[in-house]
Structure 1
Amino acid sequence: MDNKNSKMKDLVNIGVFSAIFMVISFIVMMPSAISPYLWMGFPGIAGIFCGTIYMLLASKVQSRGMALSIGLITGFIYFAMGECTWTILLTFAIAGIVAEIVRSSFGYNSMTGNIVSCGVIMTGFVGSPLPMWLFHDSYVDSIIKMGMDPNYVHTMSSMVSVWSLIGMVVIAFIGGFIGANFGKALLKKHFIKAGIV
């Protein structure tokens, strides 16, 4: 019975914190409409602001499946809302699996493991702008037809390269790493109580 209650509590925590994670990331995403440069930096900025939520959830759910769950839930909601293409589901699935491997390798109560996995999970946000790299021409045509400012789109298009994609993934990881450490400092007493060291 205790095990069943524990699993139910984990599921509730994952659901609640995934919703908070999603809302915060969406709020962070909104200003990206102002500038293509903000749009490119969105994964890293989201990582900074969402890192604390991820770390708090990691302290509450010290078992397998947490990272993958928050990734899949976030990716699915973005896709279902029509804000992103299927690529965000793919990137969050990959990021979630890698984050699970990291947490398992370090131990679920490892602060280092949770911080690194936070950086990894934030790379899932790269799936939002990824279509600009994967199917550039058709994606550009579609978003212009949807009403996006052509000048904005052309500026985005001019930034597309292999190096900018690599840079965006790295920035997303760094953003998550910063956000996780901010969460660590903010919630230090909570982590000690949860036995995360």
Structure 2
Amino acid sequence: MPQLGGGMEIFMKNKLNGRDFITIGIFNAIGIVIYMAASFAMATTVIGGFIASGVSFMVAATVYILMAVKVKKKGVFTISGTLLGLIALSGGHLPHAVFAVIGGIICDLIIGNYESKGRIVIGYGTFALADFLGTVIPVILFGTTSFVERASKWKMSEAQINEALSYFKVSWAVGFGFITFILACIGAFVATRILKKHFEKAGVI
């Protein structure tokens, strides 16, 4: 019986509670604002639009990583991916929403119990990569019609649309995907260094 009680205590300790959800909500609100601002800034050029996910997650890394290590429980990035997915869904981007959620789930699985900073960095990079793939793979697999329609609404010129379409190829997707992953990992690595140097000493974590 003592073993059962101890196991239940560990389970409850690792389960997200009300305070955790509030923390996740607050940090996601900040992270999403940074993500959106960086994405819009990068989208002013065609190439920038393709690396927007990487740059956005690199810039927002400190917010997301601080959130994750404060809560330190499975499900943090699944919820974060779901929130990003809801934003994508509100804009009519269902595939992007699905990839965001899947990316969050995979990220949580990679990070595990937060015992390895390396796994946190790789998990976060995967989270960003999934976000990028959600914007590119559907166009490569199912055609460019939906992208052209959205691009017209974004007031992109015909020349810009044609330039963007030239990058919707597997080879370019692999290249931009790699860049996205590396940028996000750099952001996460820097974030872990900042957290180590400042936040832990301040007793924030």
1:153 aligns with 2:161: yes
Structure 1 unmatched ranges of 5 or more: none
Measured against aligned partners, the alpha-carbon deviations of 1:70-101 in whole angstroms (never above 9, x if no partner) come to 11111212321x1x611111111221121111
Structure 1 residue 194 displacement after superposition: 7.1
Structure 1 residue 191 displacement after superposition: 4.3
- Report the counterpart of residue 35 of structure 1 in structure 2: 45
Asked whether the 8 Å contact 2:16–2:73 carries over to 1, the reply is: no
Aligned counterpart for 1:132 among listed residues 127, 139, 144: 139
Structure 1 residues 183 and 89 mapped into 2: Cα distance closer, same or farther (>3 Å)? same
- Report the counterpart of residue 179 of structure 1 in structure 2: 187
Question: Percent identity between the aligned chains?
Answer: 23
- Report the counterpart of residue 31 of structure 2 in structure 1: 21
Structure 1 residue 121 displacement after superposition: 1.0
Given the two structures, how large is their TM-score scaled by the length of structure 1? 0.85
CA distance in 2: counterparts of 1:145 and 1:152, whole angstroms: 10
Asked whether the 8 Å contact 2:148–2:161 carries over to 1, the reply is: no
Task: Look up the equivalent residue of 2:80 and give its one-letter code.
Answer: I
1:57 aligns with 2:67: yes
Asked whether the 8 Å contact 1:91–1:123 carries over to 2, the reply is: no
Task: Look up the equivalent residue of 1:27 and give its one-letter code.
Answer: A
- Report the counterpart of residue 199 of structure 2 in structure 1: 190
Aligned counterpart for 2:171 among listed residues 163, 186, 190: 163
- Report the counterpart of residue 67 of structure 1 in structure 2: 77
Asked whether the 8 Å contact 1:58–1:114 carries over to 2, the reply is: no
Structure 1 residue 176 displacement after superposition: 1.2
Q: How many residues matched?
A: 190
Asked whether the 8 Å contact 2:82–2:97 carries over to 1, the reply is: yes
Measured against aligned partners, the alpha-carbon deviations of 1:95-121 in whole angstroms (never above 9, x if no partner) come to 1121111112xx224322211111111
Aligned counterpart for 1:116 among listed residues 119, 122, 125: 122
Asked whether the 8 Å contact 2:136–2:173 carries over to 1, the reply is: no
- Report the counterpart of residue 78 of structure 1 in structure 2: 88
Given the two structures, how large is their TM-score scaled by the length of structure 2? 0.82
Structure 1 residue 52 displacement after superposition: 1.1
Structure with larger RCO (C-alpha < 8 A, sep 6+)? 1
Provide the secondary structure at the position in 2 that maps to 1:63.
coil
The root-mean-square deviation of aligned C-alpha atoms, in Å, is 2.4
